[in-house]
Structure 1
């Protein structure tokens, strides 16, 4: 039976870039109510801050399902023990428990880098993501940042294992 393997990878690797692109295709398309164009996805990727998802400011993880890249996510250290979860994506045809494993890997890495709390922001229309976060112990928190796509904020305590 196929299984998941989570590994830290450079956010600029070909697999990371392809998964980040898939992430933008999905979230932009849902926001727009139609498939996102290649130029809209390129615009989303340009200057999105992903270059910060490397030590000492963050980390990026790729999840492989049955050997193929099928999930990604990262976190950014915000200071004062807080890390922000970002770019969490699992390919639709691989949504078989990988998201929880990805969250666990990211939380463990963030804790190892000194974080004691993981926070995130998302949109209200991303109901599957919101359900995942709730099932994974995240609770709604007051807004900690602002932005055009920030509609709901979540957080949870994390500890080093």
Structure 2
């Protein structure tokens, strides 16, 4: 997979974000309503990546500064037809590497029980439970994870 830095509002990023939002509708009954400003994913405050196979966008993910040397992962996604090939793990590794290179020492994220494959990926990659934060801080089914880089 070729991973490229793109803007959050780049057409390929928008396509992937629309797909992941539709996935949330299927799994949770609605899209992720976390407030997002595309500028939060522009260097140096953040970064957004799209992964391509044969020139076609198939994966995405980004991070935005969360304060105190932390970044928050958002919009990690792999198109359904491309799952099971290690693309999410490769995207996660690149996101962590880019955050570390930007001087950040910790990654946090929110997910949920309707995404068991995401939970498995993050836990097998060293993420552990952290105190609730952000938009879903009080959501009873939200799972908050973090990892020191």
- Superposition TM-score, scaled by structure 2 size: 0.88
User: How many residues in Structure 1 have an aligned counterpart in Structure 2?
Assistant: 146
Quote the residue 1:28 is aligned against. 25
SS class of match (1:55): coil
Q: How far apart in 1 are the matches of 2:47 and 2:57?
A: 17
Question: Larger Rg: 1 or 2?
Answer: 1
- 8 A contact 2:113–2:143 mirrored in 1: yes
SS of equivalent residue, structure 2 residue 93:
helix
Give yes or no for the alignment of 1:120 onto 2:109. Answer: yes
Determine if contact 1:64/1:70 at 8 Å carries over to the other structure: yes
| SS, match of residue 44 in structure 2 | coil
Q: Is the CA contact (8 Å cut-off) linking 1:19 and 1:70 kept in structure 2?
A: yes
- CA separation in 2, counterparts of 1:24 and 1:7? 21
Cα distance per residue 1:69-115 (max 9 Å; x no partner):
00000001112111111110000111111101101111111111111
RMSD after superposition: 2.0
4+ residue segments displaced more than 6 Å: none
User: What is aligned with 2:53?
Assistant: 65
Corresponding position of 1:89:
77
TM-score, normalized by length of structure 1? 0.82
Unaligned runs of 5+ in 1: none
